[in-house]
Amino acid sequence: MEKEIKDKSLYWMRKQTSLSRVRDILLLIKKNNGLTHTKIAEIGIREGIFVKKNGNPFAPTPIYHCRRAALKLGLITQEKNRKYIVNPNKFEPCRLMELNRYLAPLNREENFIFQKLLIANSDCRDVFFWLFMGKKNFSWENFVKHGGVVSILPTVIKKQGKKVRTKEYVNKETGDKIILETPVERIAIEWGLQLWGRECALIDEIYINETKHILYPLDLTAALKFDDFLRKFLRLYRPFPNMDWSFFPLDLTIFKLAPVLRTSVEEIQNSFFMTASRELPEYVKFSSSSKGALTFRSLWGEKTENKILKNFIKLNNVWVTHIVVHKKLWEVKHGEIKD
C-alpha cells in the first residue's frame, strides 16, 4: 500500500534543522526568559546556533524552520504577545534544560528524549515513521523493538509528461511504500526526518549500492555484548566447504547482522569485528584493499563514496574489507550456537 498525504503543511521537517539546534533554541529561550522570533535569530546567530560550517549566518528561512520544529515538537510555545517561551506542560523541555548541553552534540539521554518526541509526534509518524511499522498507531517501544527494515530504491515517475528520477521507500515485509513525488516530500523525508532519526540514533542507514540501501530501527536499550554478536554471526553464516578460512565482506555482513541485532553500523564494527580480531586472533583476521577498489562502484560523487566507506574499517591507513574466519571457530563454539 502506498500512503498518500494531501496536507502539505505536515512537511515542516528540514535538513539544517538538526535536533541539537532545536534543543539549543529551547536553551536559548530559557536563558533569556522568553524571546521574540527576531531576538531568537539575532542572539542565535551571535552565539553560533544559526551559523554554517563556513562561518556564514543562516538566512531567515532556515532559522524559521528551526524555530518551527522546536514549536512542532512541543519544546516551546508562543504567548499572545508573540513571545516564545519554554513549554511548561511537557517533561522533555524540563529534562533538556537540566542537562543543559548547549551547542553540543546529543548525548545518550538526549537521544532517548528526541526519539520519543519524534515517535509521539503525529506528523512525523504520518509522513515517515509509520512505514517501518506498517500502521499509524504505535509506541516508541514498539518501534525500536518491532519496527521493520525499509529499503530505499531508485525509481522513475512522470511529472507533467516528463520522466523524473526519484526514490521510493519500501517496507518489503508489509508491502507499504512511500514515493517522493515532490521537492517538499524529498526535503522533509530524505533531508529532514531521515537525518533526524539518524542523529538521535532512532534509525541507522546501510548503503551498499543504489539497489541495496536500507534504513532500520535501532534499540539502544539492548546492551549487547561481544558474545551476542558472535553467536548471531555463527548462526547466520557457515564456513566455506573444503576450506580452512572463510572470507566475509564487512559491508554485506553488516547489511545482514545490523538490522537483526538492531544495532548501529559503528557498533558492529567496534563491538564485533574489532573485538573478534583482538579476542580471537587464532580464529579471526582481516583482509584489506585500497580506497579506490571500494568506491569504484560509486557514480554519484563524494557523498555516495562516504556512504560506501562507512561500512568498512580504516586501520593504519589501510581499508579493511573482509573478516576472515577459521572453520574451527564454529567447532569451538558449537554448543553456544544452537537455536
Handedness of CA 142, 144, 145, 147 (dihedral sign): positive
CB hemisphere CA count around 233 (13 angstroms) = 29
CA–CA gap between residue 160 and residue 178 (Å, rounded): 20
> Exposure string (b/e) for 187-216, b if CB count within 10 Å is 16 or more?
bbbbebbbbbbebbbbbbbbbbeeeebbbb
> Exposure string (b/e) for 283-313, b if CB count within 10 Å is 16 or more?
bbbbeeeeeeebbeebeeeeebbebbbbbbb
Please report which helix (H) or strand (E) contains residue 158, including its range. strand 150-159
- The three cell numbers of residue 168 are 521510493
Please, where in the chain does CATH 1.10.10 lie? Answer: 8-107
pLDDT score recorded for residue 194: 97
pLDDT score recorded for residue 5: 60
> Which residues contact residue 150 at a Cβ distance below 8 angstroms, ignoring those fewer than 6 apart?
131, 132, 169, 170, 171, 214, 215, 216
CA–CA gap between residue 178 and residue 128 (Å, rounded): 8
The pLDDT mean for the chain works out to 93
Instruction: State the Cα angle at 274 between 210 and 329, rounded to 5°.
Output: 100
pLDDT in tens, 4-47: 565 678 999 998 899 999 999 999 999 999 999 999 999 999 99
pLDDT in tens, 177-218: 999 999 999 999 999 999 999 999 999 999 999 999 999 999
pLDDT in tens, 273-317: 999 999 999 999 999 876 666 655 555 556 778 898 999 999 988
Tell me how crowded residue 45 is: count the other CB atoms within 10 A of its CB: 15
Fold of 8-107: Arc Repressor Mutant, subunit A (1.10.10)
* 333 pLDDT tier (thresholds 50, 70, 90): confident
Q: Is 276 exposed, middle or buried (0-12, 13-18, 19+ CB in 10 A)?
A: buried
Query: Which letter does DSSP use for residue 242 in this model?
Result: T
Tell me how crowded residue 323 is: count the other CB atoms within 10 A of its CB: 22
pLDDT score recorded for residue 290: 64
* 80 pLDDT tier (thresholds 50, 70, 90): confident
- The three cell numbers of residue 276 are 573478534
pLDDT in tens, 127-143: 999 999 999 999 999 99
pLDDT score recorded for residue 113: 98
